[in-house]
A = this chain, B = another copy of it.
Amino acid sequence: MARTKEFNEDQALDKAIEIFWHKGYNGTSAQDLVNHLGLSRSSLYDTFGDKQKLFVKSLKRYQKQNHDVLIELLENAPNIKTAFTEIFKQAVIESLQDRITKGCFMVNSSVELAMHDPEIAKIVHDNQKTVEDIFSKAIKKGQDLGQISDKQEARSLARFIFNNYSGIRVLARTGERDKQVYDDILKSIFALF
């Protein structure tokens, strides 16, 4: 019927994730989006509706990407405890090498928007529930295999792990570059495991 889109919608979304992740929702202007996504205002609004809708779509995409990675890592791991340490080590590496410290897009959005935007609040809560379930399932398996201490309930441990993951991402967002600080935290976390 008509001409085809000159841009890939998913690629544009990934660009949107980048800029929202870096600058936050309120800190990102429509002009920032135009510049960073490399498409015109009209295309942007025609395709995604408005800024809030674009943000929601970006956050959901980010969420899915992260869940897939977590599931992949934990389900195929021969040793669950090792897999968890790898997940954290990876987060530390990212935190240290990130020239522009972005932290975690989900954590950032929780803090900035969850209490002011019900739709974001729902995403954040879904995320907590889902990650908690992924962790919990893996920990249970690890406990059955004798790889993880079963002194603590699996769900309790899962929530604890999630909490420390949030904390580390906040630390990264503050620009902490001292590896020793992260390692100290990890040492304590896995002493319990």
* A contact set with B: CB distance below 8 Å: 23-24, 26-27, 100-103, 107-108, 110-112, 114-116, 121, 124-125, 128, 151-153, 155-157, 159-160, 162-168, 170-171, 173-176, 181, 184-185, 187-189, 191-192
Contact = CB atoms under 8 A, between A and B. Distances in A.
Given A24-B26, A103-B111, A107-B170, 6 more contacts: A101-B115, A114-B175, A115-B175, A160-B184, A162-B167, A163-B171
A112 B111 contact: yes
A107 B152 CA distance: 28
A168 B163 contact: yes
B103 A173 contact: no
A163 B173 contact: no
A116 B185 contact: no
B110 A152 contact: no
A27 to B, nearest CB: 6
A173 B116 contact: no
Given A167-B164, A184-B160, A111 B111 contact: yes
Contacts of A114: 173-175
Given A115-B101, A121-B175, A174-B121, A181 B159 contact: yes
Contacts of A162: 167
Contacts of A192: 188, 191-192
Contact of A152 (B128, B166, B191): B191
Contacts of A101: 115
